[in-house]
Chain A
Amino acid sequence: MISELLEYKFIVNSLLAGILASISCGIIGTYIVTRRMVFLSGGITHSSFGGIGIGYFLGFNPIISAAIFGVFSALGIEFISKRSDIREDSVIGILWSFGMAIGIMFIFLTPGYAPNLMSYLFGSILTVSTFDILLMLGLSIVLILVFTFFYRIILFISYDQEFARTHKIAVSLINYILIGLVALTIVLNIKVVGIILVISLLTIPQSIANLFTKNFRNIIIVSIVIGLIGAFMGLVISYKINIPSGASIIFSLVMIFLIAKLFQIIKGKINLKKQKI
């Protein structure tokens, strides 16, 4: 009876995590991909590992310290990117490995065995707590509100920052807010797919969506749907053959991508035939 209840709670939690991950990654991933911030996001992801190490060492929830660490790295990179005398990508590279180094240092300094370390690297939906779910829920609500009410201004700035500046729009402020949301999205999804794989949750659904639509809003919606399918398939696989959920979700997404690409190629061929070429 108790084990059944536990199993039920586990399934509900992992499904909820999958749904919320699809929503937040669908929205933020579209922003990242269209603004060509994928490398930057990789930097934020890996530097947040420093926060996880510090969390272990000081004995509090690693996700909280990772969020703080991630947001500050993100704001720092945004600040530096405005100066033209520094190479932004080099700074990202430095922060990327510096965060990892800090993380490893503190984990080794922590007495005893670091529990769940693997789950932060590769994701494990088993370890997603109700607290994590609540955080992800809060984030998804914030993202939906921000991208609904500020949609036209986000689109405007993403497309042409400089022009937006000539229209006296607070471009820097909005950039800072959005990059902060990028960092939070990355960190809160680490439990689901892990540090190594989270970037693919932010890019594969968008790449699939972009095959079929070239409208920002539609890319968000289609990405969320594809994320949901991938997460569900991945969870089933993960549950059935007992492998980390991160790996099985990404595997499912890549399979969907290949099928979609194939579908698109065939559709293109048929179209050509119709035009009798």
Chain B
Amino acid sequence: MEKILGIESVYAGYNNEVILKDVSLEVFDDDFIGIIGPNGGGKTTLLNVILGLIKPFKGSVEFFDDSKASRNNRIGYLPQINKIDKKFPITVNEVVLSGLIYGSAIFTRYTKSDREKAVETLERIGICDIKNTSIEELSGGQMQKVLLARALVSSPRLLILDEPNTFVDNQFEGELYEILKELNKEMAIIIVSHDVGTISSYIKTIACVNRSLHYHKSNKISEEQLASYNCPIKLITHGEVPHTVLKKHHH
């Protein structure tokens, strides 16, 4: 167990509005963390801080394996799907390959090994058959798999997924989580989800984000615990999670 990321007393937000208050989190290389919380609670904002898309007002975000070789591919990112333009004229293969472009490498072209990596990743996710399809023709579930392949193609140490289970059916969701479980043997995973019930059997720990962060070092959580974490969300259970009646707390 090796620590790969440390977030310490971070305050962050947009245009001088503080969204996240005093958030701390440590991520180890075998972690599988589920981030839950209400809409607008700041889950995506927390990911933005980790990804370096927004700078915290206060506090620090530190990556521990800071060697040059690993600096590029330390994070693989799957954005919330509503941020993606579905009509953009680009093929699946082009999307996946773009996951290999970093920083100053804007002149170079894709190498043979880049193309092989893309094919390997597509095979791993099981979507090699749609390699040359344009993304306009994909279903929501296929699109999620393509985005997952793009996040994975650089073999990152930490995989970050923002609600990969939106617009997908139950069967795909199960498939996705099985893939993630397999991937977790090689990398740490942070996944944002609304549906705590389904992910709870795959994740190892839970982080509740509602402006502040409460870390729950188990994958079982009750609605009372959620409420005490200031995170009043409904549990849709599938047997794994102890079900309790939701009590909304007002502070």
- Give residues in A with beta carbon < 8 Å to B: 34, 36, 83-85, 149-150, 152-153, 155-156, 158-160, 162-170, 174, 210, 213-216, 219
Contact = CB atoms under 8 A, between A and B. Distances in A.
A215 B90 CA distance: 6
A159 B79 contact: no
B239 interface: no
Nearest to B134: A214
B88 A159 contact: yes
16 contacts: A83-B15, A85-B15, A152-B98, A155-B98, A160-B79, A160-B84, A164-B101, A165-B53, A166-B51, A166-B52, A166-B77, A167-B72, A167-B102, A214-B134, A216-B90, A219-B89
Contacts of A169: 101-103, 106
Contacts of B150: 163
A216 B103 contact: no
B77 to A, nearest CB: 5
A214 B89 contact: yes
Contact of A159 (B98, B103, B106): B98
Contacts of A155: 90, 94, 98
A219 B88 CA distance: 11
Nearest to A165: B53
Interface in B68-85: 72, 75, 77, 79, 83-85
Q: State the main secondary structure of chain A at its contact with B.
A: helix
A210 to B, nearest CB: 7
A152 B109 contact: yes
B103 to A, nearest CB: 4
Contact of A156 (B72, B84, B98, B109): B98
Nearest to A167: B102
Given A162-B53, A164-B98, 8 more contacts: A159-B88, A160-B79, A160-B98, A166-B77, A169-B101, A170-B106, A213-B89, A215-B89
A159 B95 contact: yes
Interface string B28-70: 0000000000000000000000011100000000000000000
Contacts of A215: 89-91, 134
Contacts of A159: 85, 88, 90, 95, 98
Nearest to B77: A166
Contacts of A84: 14-15
Nearest to B132: A215
Nearest to B98: A156
Contacts of A168: 72, 102-103
A165 B94 CA distance: 17
B136 interface: yes
A36 B79 contact: no
Contacts of A214: 89, 134, 136-137
A164 B102 CA distance: 8
Given A152-B110, A168-B103, A214-B136, A163 B79 contact: yes
A163 B150 CA distance: 10
Nearest to A151: B109
A156 B91 CA distance: 12
A155 to B, nearest CB: 6
A241 B120 CA distance: 61
Contacts of B15: 83-85
A166 B101 contact: no
Contacts of B103: 167-169
